[in-house]
Amino acid sequence: MRACWSVLGLSLLYVSVECLLPPSKEELQQISQYGEKYVDQEIETAINGVKEMKTMMEKSEEDHKKFISSLEKTKKQKEDALKTAQDMEEKLNEEQSVCNDTMQALWEECKPCLKNTCVKYYSRTCTSGSGLVGRQLEEFLNRVSPFSIWINGQNIETLEKEDQQQSQRFQDLERRYGEVADGVDNIFLDSMRVFDHMHSLHPYHTPSIFSRPTQFYRSPLHDSEFHGFRSMFHPMMEMARNIFGSFGTYMGSDIEFPAKEGSENEDVVITKPFGDDKMTCREIRRNSAGCIKLREECEKCKEIQHIDCSGKNPLEGPLKEELEKALALAERFTQEYNKLLKSFEEEMLKTSELLDSFNKQFGWVSSLANHTKSEDGIFKIKVVKSRTSEDPEKQGDTNVSVKLFDEPEMSFIVPGDIPWNDPKFSEMVAKEALDHYKQMIV
């Protein structure tokens, strides 16, 4: 029995002494291989994650083509209807030109009445901006014909303005979409460079799931101004609110943009004397042409509606009816165009959030494109040194110096209860080194 205990004691002493002694060159190489295997697996997982990002973006690009097709069709319909409305308005103006002097005299008295009435009703509820509303309305009235106030003329100008704004919004969306697509492509192609290097190191281990890249692209992760894919689209909702928030009221749109909080009286609804329409202070200030709905408050404005030019009243003929039909179509297609833009923007916000989630988890691998050329391989444990413990019953911690990729050597402390000849030792060190690397590139 004593002999058995002696053998056991010697064995434990041998293991203890072995763990205290630094590993030989061959042993360092062996435990480095254990750690490199862990890093290999993490890189492979990340590359597969980047592949998912690429697949997600390819699906988005298919949807994007359908979106562009629908958008172009709606835009053409909108432009045709608006052109028809503009032509009808021009013909109405030609018909009333035979009694231009009479019409102009009424118009000059109608305009200040409209302006004063609008400012009066606005200032009763809204705390500021009445001067701006008055100036904007005056500028609008000086640009349009007298017939405009009776043939939805304010909608023609509103639609023309919105057409310009929609074009600008579409260009911004396309630019941002292109930036997201390029960003994903760059991450993917940089990751393929890493895959190519890994495949050359371990041709028997790495699965052939990608083709060999032929060009170098810089991952957006290296750009100090890159704050995530979602940040490319998030400002668009605010821009859309600012640009289009006021148009819906004048065209009966059911598109809603959430109001900003904390703006006193900005969302107070004014229902009279605007008929059935509901308008807010913000909406009137953004588009004071809506004040034309006050035309019934001004006698001279009402007289314009009934003026007879040589036995022909333009506002009671077929031209007015055709104009109103064309306007209704233009408004309808304008709203459809807005809905398409909003739908695309919301879809891209969702997609970009998913891309950010994938990028946060896997995108780090693309940063290795220029950091995997070390002659020592991708992971190597350089030094292992056990520390003595003050407690004789406890194993001292171990100091470890490692080389990961092309980065400077890193040092870590491994708890003494995990000896260096335990495979868990190498995996723990490799994980610590890789986590440290990921933190540095964020």
Nearest by Cα to 402 from 385, 421, 389, 419: 385
HEC readout, 35-52: HHHHHHHHHHHHHHHHHH
Residue 224 burial (CB < 10 Å; 0-12/13-18/19+)?
Answer: exposed
Does 74 have pLDDT greater than 90?
Answer: yes
CA distance to 156, 173, 322, per residue, from 336 (Å)? 17, 17, 21
pLDDT tens figures, 115-133? 998 888 888 878 788 888 8
CA dist 259 and 213 (Å) reads 48
The whole-angstrom separation of Cα 148 and Cα 161 is 16
Highest mean pLDDT among 232-236, 324-328, 331-335, 390-394 belongs to: 331-335
Q: Which of 63-67, 305-309, 398-402 has the lowest mean pLDDT?
A: 305-309
**Up-side HSE of residue 247: CA atoms within 13 Å toward CB?**
23
Cα(324)–Cα(249) distance, integer angstroms: 17
The pLDDT of residue 320: 77
Give the residue, 38 or 22, on which the prediction is more confident: 38
pLDDT at position 339 is 92
pLDDT digits (tens, 9 = 90+) for 130-168: 888 889 888 888 887 777 677 665 577 778 888 888 998
DSSP character at residue 357? H
pLDDT tens digit string along 407-430?
Answer: 889 998 998 888 888 889 999 999
Average pLDDT for residues 300-316, to the nearest whole number? 71
User: Nearest CA to 179 among 358, 352, 364?
Assistant: 352
Collapsing DSSP to helix, strand or coil, 398 comes out as strand
Question: Which DSSP string do the residues of 185-222 spell out, in sequence order?
Answer: HHHHHHHHHHHHHHHHH-TTTS---SPPP-S----GGG
Q: Is 233 helix (H, G, I), strand (E, B) or coil?
A: helix
Q: What is the pLDDT of residue 20?
A: 55
Rounded CA gap, 318 and 312, in Å? 12
> 253 versus 338: which is more confidently predicted?
338
Sequence-distant (≥ 6) Cβ neighbours of residue 164 within 8 angstroms? none
Residue 401 has which token pair? 């110096």
The pair of structure tokens assigned to 124 is 């009763």
> What is the residue type of 187?
I
The pLDDT value recorded for residue 255 is: 33
**Would the CA dihedral through 177, 178, 181, 186 be positive or negative?**
negative
| Predicted TM-score (pTM) of this structure | 0.65
pLDDT in tens, 212-228: 333 333 444 445 554 45
Rounded distance, CA 211 to CA 260, Å?
Answer: 49
The answer to whether the beta carbons of residues 256 and 383 sit under 8 Å apart is no
Q: Write the pLDDT tens digit of every residue in 94-105.
A: 766 667 778 888
**Lowest-pLDDT choice from 305-314, 342-351, 412-421:** 305-314
209: nearest Cα among 48, 41, 37, 59 = 48
Report the pLDDT value the prediction gives residue 374, as an integer from 0 to 100.
59
Cβ pair 57, 50 in contact under 8 A: no
Nearest to 411 by CA among 436, 390, 442: 436
Reduced to 3 states (helix: H, G, I; strand: E, B; else coil), residue 245 is coil
Is residue 336's pLDDT more than 90? yes
pLDDT of residue 368: 85
CB neighbour class for 59 (10 Å; exposed up to 12, middle 13-18, buried from 19): exposed
Which range has the worst mean pLDDT, 57-61, 81-85, 208-212?
208-212
